[in-house]
Amino acid sequence: MLTKEQRTQLVEAAQKAQGLAYAPYSKYNVGAALLSANGKTYLGANIENAAYPDGICAERVAVFQAVIEGERQFQAVAVVTKDGGTPCGSCRQVLAEFGLDTVVLIANAAGQVKQETTVAGLLPGAFGPSNLSN
């Protein structure tokens, strides 16, 4: 269970990450802050590229950074956009790989949480590791 303080800190960290985004084409900066089960926070920001498909979303940057450091379980992720936009389908799938119960806080640039859900709430009927069991 996330405390009010953890929620606030996570959204503030995602706001900080949003300021680090590289989005010269869409001008849609996204920041993410991922809280591991061990209590460490990993930041991510979207990074665009002139070859559009080669960009990457903030949520995946945060997850990949955490995985590189050995994390596999997450408590929550905060995502900040200018208008409280939700994670794309690819990000939802990547988050689902590591736990459908992960809390998802979606906030606008002012830090107002517009939606609180779980990964399962964002991706009902998710395809996951259990679908590939032998």
How far apart are alpha carbons 7 and 10 in whole angstroms? 5
Q: Taking the mean position of all CA atoms in its chain, how far away is CA 23?
A: 17
59 catalytic? Reply is yes
Catalytic hit among 5, 59, 71, 116:
59
Question: Do 79 and 58 contact (CB within 8 A), yes or no?
Answer: yes
Helix (H), strand (E) at residue 27: none
Active site residues: 59
